[in-house]
Amino acid sequence: MIRKIYSGMTIILVVFLCLYIFLPGQVLAGKYEWKLAHEELPGGFMDSVGNEFARLLKEKSGGQINLQIYPSGTLGSSEDLVELTQYNAIQFNFADAGHLGTQIPQVQAMLLQYLFPQDMDVVMKVLRDGSFMKYLTPKFQEKKLEPLANFTEGWQVWSTNKLIKKPSDFKNFKMRTMSSKLLVESYALYGANPTPVPFAEVYSSLQLKMVDGQENPVFAIYDMKFYEVQDYLIFGYTSPFFLTLIGNAQFLNDLPADIKKIVKEASRDCVAFGFKWQEEFNQSRLDKIVKAKKDLKVVYLTTEEMGKFKALAKKTHATYIKIGGDGAREILDALQADIKNYSK
């Protein structure tokens, strides 16, 4: 992660200079020139879905819309990019619930563990068609943002230096987490010692035994080489790692009706692409991990084993409702109803 160096208007001025002083979202010679920025490397999930979004926008608009992709955090960190989207310095960004949660506490429902069944088809249908978004969308709009589509980068997987199959195995175990109160509480309930560590410092923290394990999608474990300093990969299916494609709300609202329709259609069409892409990508990375470290043990928890963690995870729902504030209970109830409905 790139550390935050600039803030507020300073970032925006720098970006304007870097982008040749072009006004955001302007129309040049009958073409719309827009920007999408993200933190991941070229060829990763955000980049691949972003480029598919750009392709669909151009195709559906007959070449009128040109979306430029800025990968690798070239325009700032996750926090910076959310801010730049709010100011319309860039028009689109992928944001995760961990970073959005500081501004939109209700979105942290997506950080709750063991809400979703072990079925990616259900996850996709809930994220794409679920009624919970009609309650969550206004919370985005209050912050000058518009949620266009929800994605997952895949199931989060534990990498550890010991076998974890039941909550008692987490005793005296230093588990790296994001700084989310919900995640810290989840791992404390499991019996671990939750230890927030910046993403860029996770490898060294694992290597130096400052933490004993961490959780991320398989591709991130491969890209960041966490597996090199761990003994186990454990599929506990706690939760998928969620992302939302967000846009500047005012910018989107001001678009002509036909262009606005194209944006909505293109973003929705990207969802199925993203789900298929992440499944293939994560499997290919798992194959590479196993080949690179032959003594690494890959473990899949049973339904009974996961049930013990799930029972503890339910205790964090009350915490979410408390920190989520206005509308949080309604959002969680709708999300759970969606999951039940699409699990039939």
Task: Look at residue 188 and give its three-state secondary structure.
Answer: helix
Q: How far apart are CA 210 and CA 48, in angstroms?
A: 34
pTM for this structure?
0.89
Residue 179 confidence (pLDDT)? 83
- CA–CA separation, 122 and 94 (whole Å): 22
Q: Phi and psi dihedrals of 200, rounded to 5? A: -65, -15
Alpha carbons 135 and 130: distance in angstroms, whole number: 10
Q: 242-252: string of b/e by CB count within 10 Å (b at 16+)?
A: bbbbbbbbebb
Give the distance, in angstroms, between the CA of residue 33 and the centroid of all CA atoms in the same chain.
Answer: 26
- Is residue 2 a contact partner of residue 73, using CB atoms and an 8 Å limit? yes
> What tokens were used for 25?
């979202």
Name the 3-class secondary structure at 222: helix
Q: From CA 330, how far away is CA 132, in angstroms rounded?
A: 8
Distance (Å, whole) CA 111 – CA 97: 7
Residue 214 near residue 175, CB atoms below 8 Å: yes
Phi, psi of 280 (to 5 degrees): -70, -40
For strands 27-28 and 232-235, give the pairing. Answer: unpaired
Q: What angle do CA 203, 246, 219 make, to 5 degrees?
A: 30
Ordered by where they begin, the domains of the chain are 8-106+114-153+242-282 (3.40.190.170), 157-239+293-342 (3.40.190.170)
Please identify which residue in the block is written with the tokens 């394990």. 213
pLDDT of residue 25: 63
Tokens of 20: 């040749």
- Judge whether 187 and 114 are in contact, CB under 8 Å: no
Give the helix/strand (H/E) hosting 310. Answer: helix 303-313
Mind listing the pLDDT tens digit of every residue in the chain (344 residues)? 333 334 444 444 444 434 443 455 666 555 999 999 999 889 989 999 999 999 999 999 999 999 999 999 999 988 899 999 999 999 999 999 988 988 999 999 999 999 999 999 999 999 999 999 999 999 999 999 999 999 999 999 999 999 999 999 999 999 999 888 899 999 999 999 999 998 889 999 999 999 999 999 999 999 999 999 999 999 999 999 999 999 999 999 999 999 999 999 999 999 999 999 999 999 999 999 999 999 999 999 999 999 999 999 999 999 999 999 999 999 999 999 999 999 98
Q: Contact at 8 Å (CB) between 156 and 216?
A: yes
Instruction: For residue 82, give the nearest of 242, 263, 244 by alpha carbon.
Output: 244
Please give the pLDDT value at position 28.
54
Please count the other Cβ atoms lying within 10 Å of the Cβ belonging to residue 30. 7
Within 10 A of 171 (CB to CB), how many other CB atoms are there? Answer: 10
Return the percent helix, strand and coil in the chain, to nearest 5.
50, 20, 30
The amino acid at 317:
H
What does the pLDDT read at residue 16?
A: 45
